[in-house]
Structure 1
């Protein structure tokens, strides 16, 4: 349904509205079509409705853990590039994320704005390079 070969749709999930605002602020102006959610079930609905290129999900949320959401995202959008973000150091999750089982990259809060922009840019390049016609 996309007219062009590239997809710039970014889904962000974090239960903290201020964190979402900050992520959107850092990433706006980069040409991304950003959809931000505080509730996992709303984000899952989006996964079922539109093709997503990159997903950023918080690990620690009250309704659903980030790795559970990312597993659902993988089932619904297997080509989407997944990025986990967390303010807590969960070594087992970080190991799984770095091994590519739950996510392609793992970032910690507070994040470095330049690193975040770079990681998201690389994620879109990775996603769009696998896009086939």
Structure 2
């Protein structure tokens, strides 16, 4: 089942001019856009509802964008995460991808067309991943009920004894009767 509701994007940046520029870039794309002026407000908005994608500045007071997006990943692993940075530091980009599992790293200023195309690709990948998880869950629900259930206790092993003539006899544990082998 494909969700046709507008995708919800959270913008997190301590510069209102950046938030406004992102809103202008995305205003005709049909997204539901919310914003936060700091990472703590961003975390509150993440808790308050379903956010499909987060675009966060990197250098913010109190918490870096990478730290914020790591928390977002831990709490909302299905949410796509993008980082913006005015500093094109290669190590920050590597850390963002490796530690924060960031979908994309953009430098400021960004190219509006590239950002819009990348968001479409991110949402397509997210849709595919969600659909795959649903199909996997459906397949598991169909297969698992048909599997035999394991007994709660392991089966008892027979004891091996010999009778007076030396014949081997098998008995169940605790049985006083002996069954011929």
> Do the structures match in fold with TM over 0.5?
yes
The alignment covers a number of residue pairs equal to 131
Secondary structure of 2:130's aligned partner: coil
Query: Which structure has more RCO (C-alpha within 8 Å, separation ≥ 6)?
Result: 1
What is the root-mean-square deviation of aligned Cα atoms in Å? 1.9
Q: Deviations over 1:43-66 (max 9, x none)?
A: 101111211111111111112100
State the partner residue of 1:68.
67
1:5 and 1:131 in contact (8 A); partners too: no
Q: What's the TM-score, normalizing by structure 1?
A: 0.89
Name which of structure 1's ranges 88-97 and 25-34 shifts more when overlaid on structure 2. 88-97
Q: Distance in 1 between matches of 2:96 and 2:26?
A: 22
Contact kept in structure 1, 2:70 and 2:99, CA below 8 Å: no
Q: Distance in 1 between matches of 2:87 and 2:26?
A: 22
Cα shift readout 1:69-120 (whole Å, capped 9, x = no counterpart): 0011011210111111101122212112344744111000000110011111
Bigger-Rg structure (1/2): 2
Q: Which runs of 5+ in 1 are unaligned?
A: none
* Unaligned segments of structure 2, at least 5 residues: 135-181
The answer to which of 41-50 and 88-97 deviates more is: 88-97
TM-score normalised to the size of structure 2? Answer: 0.67
On the 8 A contact 1:27/1:117 being kept in 2, the answer is yes
SS in 1 for 2:102: coil
